[in-house]
């Protein structure tokens, strides 16, 4: 009892009005408000991926040209994007996770950091050796290495300040996520859902690297930092306490110990509520027959107190997942009018094909609608229970082991994977890169061995049938109404992060390697450029010496490009992606390059 009480003492301190957030990164908050910088992966705490810069606009974007380029010297998939603080750009690579600091005046390398990692970590990385980027705060650059080491580097010199181990690759634990700094803590997760890893989120002190708290996705309440009486969830049309042993009751025996729920996606933060938001991944194994129950709290959006890690509310999107619809995609925070009332909301485009709008303060479900009309595994989300209504024909659990379930939409990589959407406060719309892909799915029995794949399913993937023939769309979404406003078809999945700007344009990249600019209201294409390799990185922007720049990492790979990245050829390899995206080899090749664009001086028209 004493341990349980001590666990929640910090919550009492907050209730008494003690300071909620340490001020160690006031510099970060200040820098993020200056659009000249791009100081965190999503641009701000709310995950908007939006810039107030408008020197480049819908009228002159057609004049964009390459300003400079930089090769990372690495051939695998390049996700994430660079950071820009003042006159320095910081860019990363996939394994071996190099970090470069580049002088924006001279384009010279100020410093380079290349960690020495055991290459044996590569085989336990599920879907390419990607890394989603760096974080900055308190004069430090934070790198989350593949081998799970979290490193703090001096931003001026590249010198290592501290280094801590976050997991154990011998158990299948690796890291691909970008670290996130909120308050005086750096937040990170863990990968390995395909290896029976038990997911968690951990918070480390930005000055010392000391672990402050750690919260698991599954298991006993205490280890999940869940208060049975105060942590709330959507139940029968209202918020209610999760109750005692909310996770344990939904697993058979000790399966929760290898239950997945990994945390390799994006994180957001509301300073006023002092809540950190993120999603958890698939339960292990992919064979649903082996793990009866709802498998909580996999596939769940979590809202946790930054200081203590205690969950305020949780919402599970896909109970008892049967299709690998990880819930790790970004949570975007905005204030929207819903039902005639302004609400502080969280918007989440889940892999399962439904876009969710929740009240981010309470966790109340407001909207849940399909953001690709081809989604067929469920008819709808019941607004009272919050549960998707599964169609038996596409239920891999109903159909059973060693049975091929055909034409399930979306495929396991979801209507959208981790590639982050953008939000424009100017248009009040969301700009979403999507996959338009379906699959066959055959589950089979598999045994757990630490550090070995724990999948238990064979998949094939293909473009959504009876559609435009392509594998992707770029859409505008109305999160208040739950409706697609506009949709632009693409030949392949749109696997890059979007960027919206005050110039009334939105940027995104394609797997063939094009970076494109489209009208923020209509999606009319205004400009494109073919970069050296396929784009799975996220578009960013900054200003230096009065000129706006657009930057993007190209370098094919990731799940969609794993065939090229890892040299795989079998249709069912890469968890089904190799066959589905085989045609990519006719359009692009490997190679990691940062390409930076600007307008010619005569084309800026003096706009700033």
Residues 481, 486, 489: CA angle, nearest 5 degrees: 135
Rounded CA gap, 320 and 285, in Å?
Answer: 11
DSSP letter for each residue of 417-444: -S---EEETTTTEEEEEEE-EEEEEEE-
Rounded CA gap, 53 and 70, in Å?
Answer: 23
Cβ 495 vs Cβ 77: under 8 Å = no
Burial of 18 (0-12, 13-18, 19+ CB in 10 A): exposed
Rounded CA gap, 394 and 389, in Å?
Answer: 11
Residues 242, 243, 247: CA angle, nearest 5 degrees: 70
Place of tokens 């501290």: 162
Alpha helices in 2-146 (DSSP H): 2-7, 9-15, 26-32
Cα atoms in the Cβ-side hemisphere of radius 13 Å centred on 90:
29
Q: Would you call 394 helix, strand, or coil by DSSP?
A: helix
Query: Rounded to whole angstroms, what are the CA distances from 346 to 129, 278, 430?
Result: 30, 10, 12
In degrees rounded to 5, what are phi and psi of residue 576? 100, -10
β-strand 50-51 against 499-501: which pairing, if any? parallel
Strand partners, 234: 239
* Residue 26 DSSP class: H
Cβ 337 vs Cβ 452: under 8 Å = no
Rounded CA gap, 201 and 225, in Å?
Answer: 10
User: Is 34 among the catalytic positions?
Assistant: no
Give the active site residue among 324, 350, 372, 478: 324
- Give the end-to-end CA distance of the chain in Å, rounded to a whole number: 60
Rounded CA gap, 125 and 117, in Å?
Answer: 13
Record the tokens describing residue 566, joined without a space: 């890892």
Residues 89, 497, 508: CA angle, nearest 5 degrees: 95
In the sheet that 232-235 helps form, which strands lie side by side, from edge to edge? 238-241, 232-235, 311-316, 300-305, 275-279, 268-270
Omega before 96 within 30 of 0, i.e. cis: yes
Alpha helices in 173-253 (DSSP H): 221-224
Question: How far is Cα of residue 22 from the mean position of the Cα atoms in its chain?
Answer: 26
Rounded CA gap, 201 and 151, in Å?
Answer: 16
Q: What are the start-end ranges of the E strands in 86-172?
A: 88-92, 99-103, 109-113, 135-137, 140-144, 149-154, 160-165
316, containing H or E segment: strand 311-316
The catalytic residues are 324
């Amino acid at each position: 009892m004493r341990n349980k009480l001590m666990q929640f003492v910090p919550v009492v301190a907050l209730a008494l009005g003690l300071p909620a957030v340490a001020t160690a990164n006031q510099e970060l908050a200040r820098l993020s408000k200056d659009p000249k910088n791009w100081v965190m992966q999503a641009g701000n705490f709310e995950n908007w991926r939006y810039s107030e810069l408008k020197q480049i606009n819908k009228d002159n974007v057609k004049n964009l040209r390459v300003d400079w380029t930089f090769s990372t010297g690495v051939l695998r998939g390049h996700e994430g994007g660079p950071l820009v603080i003042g006159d320095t750009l910081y860019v990363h690579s996939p394994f071996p996770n190099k970090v470069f600091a580049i002088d924006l005046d001279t384009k010279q390398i100020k410093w380079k950091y290349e960690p020495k990692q055991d290459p044996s970590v590569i085989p336990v990385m599920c879907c390419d050796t990607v890394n989603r980027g760096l974080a900055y705060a308190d004069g430090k650059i934070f790198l989350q290495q593949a081998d799970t080491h979290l490193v703090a580097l001096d931003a001026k010199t590249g010198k290592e300040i501290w280094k801590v181990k976050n997991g154990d690759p011998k158990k299948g634990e690796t890291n691909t996520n970008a670290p996130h700094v909120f308050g005086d803590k750096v937040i990170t997760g863990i990968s390995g859902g395909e290896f029976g890893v038990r997911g968690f989120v951990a918070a480390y002190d930005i000055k010392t690297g000391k672990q402050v708290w750690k919260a698991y996705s599954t298991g006993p309440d205490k280890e999940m930092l869940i208060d049975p009486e105060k942590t709330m969830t959507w139940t029968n049309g209202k918020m209610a306490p999760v109750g005692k042993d909310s996770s344990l009751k939904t697993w058979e025996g000790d399966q929760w110990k290898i239950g997945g729920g990994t945390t390799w996606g994006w994180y957001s933060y509301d300073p006023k509520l002092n809540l950190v938001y993120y999603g958890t991944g698939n339960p292990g194994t992919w064979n649903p027959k082996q793990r009866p129950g709802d498998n909580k709290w996999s596939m769940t959006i979590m809202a946790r107190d930054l200081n203590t890690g205690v969950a305020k509310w949780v919402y599970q999107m896909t109970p008892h997942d049967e299709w690998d619809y990880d819930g790790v995609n970004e949570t975007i925070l905005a204030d929207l009018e819903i039902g005639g009332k302004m609400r502080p909301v969280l918007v989440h485009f889940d892999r399962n094909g439904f876009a969710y709008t929740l009240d981010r303060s309470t966790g109340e479900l407001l909207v849940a609608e399909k953001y690709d009309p081809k989604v067929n595994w469920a008819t709808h989300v019941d607004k009272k229970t919050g549960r998707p209504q599964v169609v038996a024909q596409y239920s891999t659990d109903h159909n059973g082991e060693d049975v091929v379930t055909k034409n399930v939409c979306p495929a396991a990589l979801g209507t959208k994977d981790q590639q982050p959407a953008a939000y424009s406060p100017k248009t009040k719309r969301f700009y979403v890169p999507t996959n338009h892909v379906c699959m066959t799915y055959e589950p089979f029995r598999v045994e757990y061995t630490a550090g070995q794949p724990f999948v238990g399913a064979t998949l094939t993937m293909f473009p959504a049938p009876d559609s435009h023939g392509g594998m992707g769309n770029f859409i505008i979404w109305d999160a208040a109404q739950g409706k697609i406003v506009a949709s632009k078809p693409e030949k392949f999945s749109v696997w890059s992060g979007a960027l919206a700007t005050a110039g009334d344009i939105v940027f995104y990249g394609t797997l063939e390697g094009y970076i494109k600019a489209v009208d923020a209201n209509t999606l009319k294409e205004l400009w494109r450029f073919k970069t050296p390799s396929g784009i799975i990185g996220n578009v960013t922007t900054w200003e230096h010496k009065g000129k706006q720049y657009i930057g993007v990492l190209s370098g094919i790979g990731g799940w969609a490009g794993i065939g090229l990245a890892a040299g795989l050829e079998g249709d069912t390899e890469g968890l089904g992606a190799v066959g589905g995206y085989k045609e990519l080899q006719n359009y692009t090749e490997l190679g990691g390059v940062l390409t930076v664009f600007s307008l010619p001086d005569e084309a800026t028209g003096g706009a700033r």
